[in-house]
């Protein structure tokens, strides 16, 4: 089957021309064949649909990730609220004379907690993973 060709003259940047020549040489094609393939791909009507499908899949994945982040944030907030409510209802206030010692002890315990939290966030298992393992293991 003989295809007809139309001679075209284009001006392109020197660097682009060099890239075209290099690609044609590496692929063992003529510069015309490379240009024709590039134009076919660019002008293909389904090209936009492919790009849209790729973007849609990526946006769906990002949406699912954001949903998981939101769930973890809500779980953390609820856990904190439950803990604070339990602590406030089960812990009696300290007498005034015991307050300085309790504050010093609380500061040391807070610093130890922050250090442990930092280590756990860097290398340790995450609470959500442990919860899933524990909940999954109890069935």
Between 1 and 28, the more confident residue is 28
Q: What is the 3-state secondary structure (H, E, C) of the chain?
A: CCCCCCCCCCCCCHHHHHHHHHHHHHHCCCHHHHHHHHHHHHHCCHHHHHHHHHHHHHHHHHHHHHHHHHHHHHHHHHHHHHHHHHHHHHCCCCCHHHHHHHHHHHHHHHHHHHHHHHHHHHCCCCHHHHHHHHHHHCC
Q: 63 pLDDT band (50/70/90 cuts)?
A: very high
| pLDDT value at 25 more than 80 | yes
**pLDDT tens for residues 73-99?**
999 999 999 999 998 999 988 899 999
pTM for this model (two decimals) = 0.46
**pLDDT tens for residues 127-137?**
767 777 787 76
Segments making up each domain of the chain, as ranges: 14-43, 47-93, 102-139
State the pLDDT at residue 41. 81
């Amino acid at each position: 089957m003989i295809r007809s060709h139309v001679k075209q003259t284009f001006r392109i940047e020197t660097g682009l021309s060099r890239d075209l020549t290099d690609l044609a040489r590496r692929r063992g094609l003529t510069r015309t064949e490379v240009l024709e393939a590039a134009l076919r791909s660019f002008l293909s009507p389904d090209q936009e649909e492919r790009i849209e499908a790729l973007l849609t899949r990526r946006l769906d994945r990002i949406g699912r990730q954001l949903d998981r982040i939101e769930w973890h944030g809500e779980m953390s907030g609820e856990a904190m609220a439950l803990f604070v409510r339990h602590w406030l209802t089960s812990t009696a206030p300290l007498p005034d004379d015991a307050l300085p010692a309790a504050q010093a002890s609380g500061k040391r315990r807070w610093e130890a907690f922050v250090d442990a939290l930092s280590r756990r966030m860097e290398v340790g298992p995450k609470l959500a993973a442990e919860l899933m393992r524990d909940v999954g293991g109890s069935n």
